[in-house]
């Protein structure tokens, strides 16, 4: 490592904070920040004031808490992002990594000019089903602002890189998210969820339409199987409440939010089939974690998921195709080659150490 880089000062913005209690961006912020500290960087991660972790640091990472009035809905994100950026102006960072752009890019003109700004664009937010009309138009504008205010743009999937490079005539940098193979299964953990090894389907996702939870539920219920579908995710929103009321069925098990990594890894590892319904773009961390836990995967058929899984998964575009997959599905062992191939991808293409090094070298 070059000595002049060892004390590089990094700020990571755009998440609810670490350790992860929310989703994919938070998981990556945790992994990246800890990895950069091990490489000699001084790293701060911005956190919402209500994050349950109360200590001022985490594994050598400084935590900066800012007010986040989440009861205001989308407006709270604009306020939280503004407060984070205003604080970042005072910190003398060498590099700021902004994860996502949906509400932060409108404040991009406030980012410190002497600091190098890296935007990780994630997916094309304006394509999400939950955004309509003026909000969709705003998100397209926000995407342009993120490009304008960044020194470097990171695309976490090859299709996203292709889109950004053509659309904005730039040279974005492709760096995906990582995952580490899970090698320490414990079947006893299943007892707390009242499920049996290879006798349940699993779906882990945020409750939003573009993750296709309803399509997957309908496909399971329409199939000939009596295997239950276990769904993990925070259902305390309008869409979540709608699904729970409409699909009050013993074959559909809503667990709610759950963040214990050991428990999640074991649920993935021991499931009969893992559903990944994400459709709005990017390399989704939860998909990589399913691959890391040796899951047989059934994924929504789109270019983002195919760029990761290639031929090593079932694919569906509608309820009928899910029904067909389940009615013809054979035991997990018959897809051992899929599992092996996906684990090899993690070791070669989605390796945590290599990906953290790519960020470090970029700095």
Tens digits of pLDDT across the chain (363 residues): 444 556 899 999 999 999 988 877 898 999 999 999 999 999 999 999 999 999 999 999 999 999 999 888 878 999 999 999 999 999 999 999 999 888 899 999 999 999 999 999 876 666 666 667 787 888 889 999 999 999 999 999 999 999 999 999 999 999 999 999 999 999 999 999 999 999 999 999 999 898 999 999 999 999 999 999 999 999 999 999 999 999 999 999 999 999 898 999 999 999 999 999 998 777 888 999 999 999 999 999 999 999 999 999 999 999 999 999 999 887 766 799 999 999 999 999 999 999 999 999 999
What phi and psi, each to the nearest 5 degrees, are found at residue 52? -65, -20
CB atoms within 10 A of CB 277: 21
Parallel, antiparallel, or unpaired: how do β-strands 297-300 and 314-316 relate? parallel
For the chain, the first-to-last Cα distance in angstroms comes to: 12
Parallel, antiparallel, or unpaired: how do β-strands 152-155 and 173-174 relate? parallel
Q: Which residues pair with 172 in a beta bridge?
A: none
| Cis bond before residue 19 (omega within 30° of 0) | yes
Give the global pTM.
0.87
Q: Could you give the CA distance from residue 105 to residue 298 in angstroms, rounded to a whole number?
A: 34
Helix axis angle for 352-362 and 24-38, nearest 10°, is 70
What are the boundaries of each domain within the chain?
A: 3-175, 187-348
Q: Which residues pair with 330 in a beta bridge?
A: none
Q: Could you give the CA distance from residue 345 to residue 292 in angstroms, rounded to a whole number?
A: 10
Task: State the CATH class of domain 3-175.
Answer: alpha beta
User: Which CATH number describes the domain made up of 187-348?
Assistant: 3.40.50.2000
Helix (H, G, I), strand (E, B) or coil at 361: helix
Within this chain, domains 3-175 and 187-348 share the same CATH topology: yes
Q: What is the pLDDT of residues 95-118, one digit of tens each?
A: 999 998 888 999 999 999 999 999
Q: Could you give the CA distance from residue 164 to residue 248 in angstroms, rounded to a whole number?
A: 42
Q: What is the pLDDT of residues 205-251, one digit of tens each?
A: 999 898 999 999 999 999 999 999 999 999 999 999 999 999 999 99
Q: Which residues contact 245 (CB under 8 A, 6 or more apart)?
A: none
Q: Which residues pair with 202 in a beta bridge?
A: 230, 274
Torsion sign across C-alpha atoms 75, 80, 86, 88: negative
For 118, the token pair is 């890296």
């Amino acid at each position: 490592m070059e000595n002049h880089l060892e004390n590089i000062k990094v700020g990571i913005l755009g998440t609810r904070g670490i350790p992860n209690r929310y989703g994919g961006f938070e998981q990556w912020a945790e992994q990246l920040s800890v990895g950069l500290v091990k490489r000699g960087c001084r790293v701060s991660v911005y956190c919402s004031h209500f994050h349950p972790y109360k200590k001022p640091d985490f594994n050598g990472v400084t935590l900066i808490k800012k007010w986040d009035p989440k009861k205001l809905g989308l407006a709270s994100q604009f306020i939280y992002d503004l407060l984070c950026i205003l604080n970042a102006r005072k910190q003398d960072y060498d590099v700021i990594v902004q994860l996502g752009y949906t509400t932060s890019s409108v404040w991009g003109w406030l980012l410190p000019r002497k600091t190098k700004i890296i935007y990780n664009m994630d997916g094309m937010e304006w394509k999400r089903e939950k955004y309509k009309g003026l909000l969709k138009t705003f998100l397209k504008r926000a995407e342009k602002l993120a490009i304008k205010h960044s020194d470097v743009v990171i695309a976490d999937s090859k299709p996203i890189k292709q889109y950004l490079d053509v659309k904005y005539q730039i040279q974005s940098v492709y760096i995906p998210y990582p995952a580490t193979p899970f090698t320490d299964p414990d079947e006893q953990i299943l007892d707390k969820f009242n499920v049996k090894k290879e006798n349940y389907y699993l779906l882990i996702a945020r409750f939003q339409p573009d993750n296709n939870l309803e399509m997957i539920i309908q496909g399971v219920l329409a199939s000939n199987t009596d295997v239950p579908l276990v769904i993990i995710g925070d259902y305390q929103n309008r869409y979540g409440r709608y699904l729970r009321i409409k699909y009050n069925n013993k074959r559909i098990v809503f667990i709610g939010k759950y963040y214990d990594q050991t428990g999640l890894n074991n649920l993935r590892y021991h499931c009969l089939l893992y559903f990944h319904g994400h459709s709005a773009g990017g390399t989704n961390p939860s998909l990589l974690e399913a691959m890391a836990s040796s899951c047989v995967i059934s994924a929504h058929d789109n270019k983002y998921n195919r760029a990761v899984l290639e031929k090593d998964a079932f694919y569906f575009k509608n309820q009928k195709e899910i029904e067909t997959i389940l009615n013809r599905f054979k035991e997990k062992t018959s897809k051992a080659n899929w599992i092996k191939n996906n684990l090899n991808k993690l070791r070669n293409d989605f390796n945590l150490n290599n990906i953290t090094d790519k960020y470090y070298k970029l700095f």
